[in-house]
């Protein structure tokens, strides 16, 4: 298809030709594995663009195939951190940044194939939201917390961010996460249906791959309906995520 880039070789590092790549996108059969490299895996303009570019590579392969293919996407962090959230200097001083971050959440939430967050460690604030934007979550059992700690540094949530949590969590968990900045351990997260599995550290990726292998056929059988079903499930969230952040800022 003219003008559409179809990635043929893997792994690919993003940003392309960067001295310090943000992430690597690999492929193992039907599974695409998105591995963040940085210490805290914080969201900034460079990492947001790298994530969107990676997702576009996968989507292009899926939508241009002659026949629907079994596929699933896994995201994993580095060391003891999945993601520590946003680099707040950009949120405060670079107005386009928040729209970039909201675009990442929207793209992941409604992605065209099954998605799994392999939580190798802490997922805080914007990193926690990113984890909840995936369809499924596999969490390290012995270390790491899910936490929305914005109340501790006077940071409001945009409506789309709040809507993701409100949809994915029970009312009590939503309250404790947002208004108390409670740090949910893996055991708590599993008990409260915030994650789908908890496993030892050295099994996080393998468990996510096993789940991905089970889910990948749904991208084939569901074809374009898989994304359409997500769009229908998350209609209100998508609407909120699509509201430009600069319009919200005076009210937040």
Report the relative pairing of strands 122-124 and 197-199 from DSSP bridges.
Answer: unpaired
Query: Pick from 127, 108, 1: which is nearest to 58 by CA?
Result: 108
Q: Name 36's Cβ contacts closer than 8 Å, sequence gap at least 6.
A: 22, 23, 47, 75, 76, 77, 78, 82, 83
Predicted confidence pLDDT, tens digits, the chain (252 residues):
677 889 999 999 999 888 889 999 999 999 999 999 988 999 999 999 999 999 999 999 999 999 999 999 999 999 999 999 999 899 888 989 999 999 999 999 999 999 999 999 999 999 999 999 999 999 999 999 999 999 898 888 999 999 999 999 999 999 999 999 999 999 999 999 999 999 999 999 999 999 999 999 999 998 889 999 999 999 999 999 988 876 555 444
And the tokens for 182?
A: 């409670």
The answer to whether residues 70 and 216 touch, using CB atoms and an 8 Å cutoff, is: yes
Q: What is the pLDDT of residue 247?
A: 55
Q: How far apart are CA 115 and CA 125, in angstroms?
A: 20
Q: What is the DSSP string of the chain?
A: -TT-----SS-EEESTT-SS-SEEEEEETTEEEEEE-SSS--B-HHHHHHHHHHHHHHHHHHHHSSS----EEEEE-BTTEEE--B-HHHHHH-THHHHHHHHHHHHHHT-SS-EEEEE-SEEETHHHHHHHHSSEEEEESSS--EE--GGGGT----HHHHHHHHHHS-HHHHHHHHHS---B-HHHHHHTTS-SEEE-GGGHHHHHHHHHHHHHHHHHHHTTHHHHHHHHHTHHHHHHHTS-HHHHGGG-
The answer to whether residues 62 and 220 touch, using CB atoms and an 8 Å cutoff, is: no
The alpha carbon torsion through 242, 59, 205, 221 (nearest 10 deg) reads 110
Q: Name 14's Cβ contacts closer than 8 Å, sequence gap at least 6.
A: 21, 22, 23, 24, 25, 50, 53, 54
Q: How far apart are CA 195 and CA 131, in angstroms?
A: 9
- Whole-model pTM: value is 0.95
């Amino acid at each position: 298809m003219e003008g559409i880039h179809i990635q043929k070789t893997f792994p690919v590092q993003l940003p392309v030709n960067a001295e310090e790549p943000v992430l690597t996108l690999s492929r193992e059969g039907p599974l695409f594995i998105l591995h963040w490299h940085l210490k805290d895996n914080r969201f900034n303009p460079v990492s947001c663009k790298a994530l969107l570019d990676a997702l576009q590579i996968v989507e292009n392969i899926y939508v241009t195939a002659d026949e629907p293919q079994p596929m699933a996407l896994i995201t994993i962090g580095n060391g003891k951190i999945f993601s520590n959230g946003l680099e707040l200097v950009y949120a405060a001083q670079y107005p386009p940044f928040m729209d970039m971050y909201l675009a990442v959440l929207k793209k992941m939430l409604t992605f065209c194939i099954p998605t799994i967050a392999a939580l190798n460690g802490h997922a805080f604030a914007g990193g926690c939201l990113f984890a909840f934007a995936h369809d499924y979550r596999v969490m390290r059992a012995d270390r790491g917390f899910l936490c929305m700690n914005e109340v501790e540094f006077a940071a409001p949530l945009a409506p789309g961010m709040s809507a993701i949590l409100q949809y994915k969590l029970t009312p009590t968990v939503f309250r404790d996460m947002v208004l108390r900045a409670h740090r949910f351990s893996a055991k708590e997260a599993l008990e409260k249906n915030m994650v789908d599995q908890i496993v030892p550290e050295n099994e996080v990726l393998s468990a996510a791959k096993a789940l991905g292998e089970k889910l990948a056929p749904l991208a084939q059988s569901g074809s374009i309906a898989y994304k359409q079903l997500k769009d229908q499930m998350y209609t209100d969230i998508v609407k909120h995520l699509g509201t430009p952040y600069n319009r919200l800022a005076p009210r937040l």
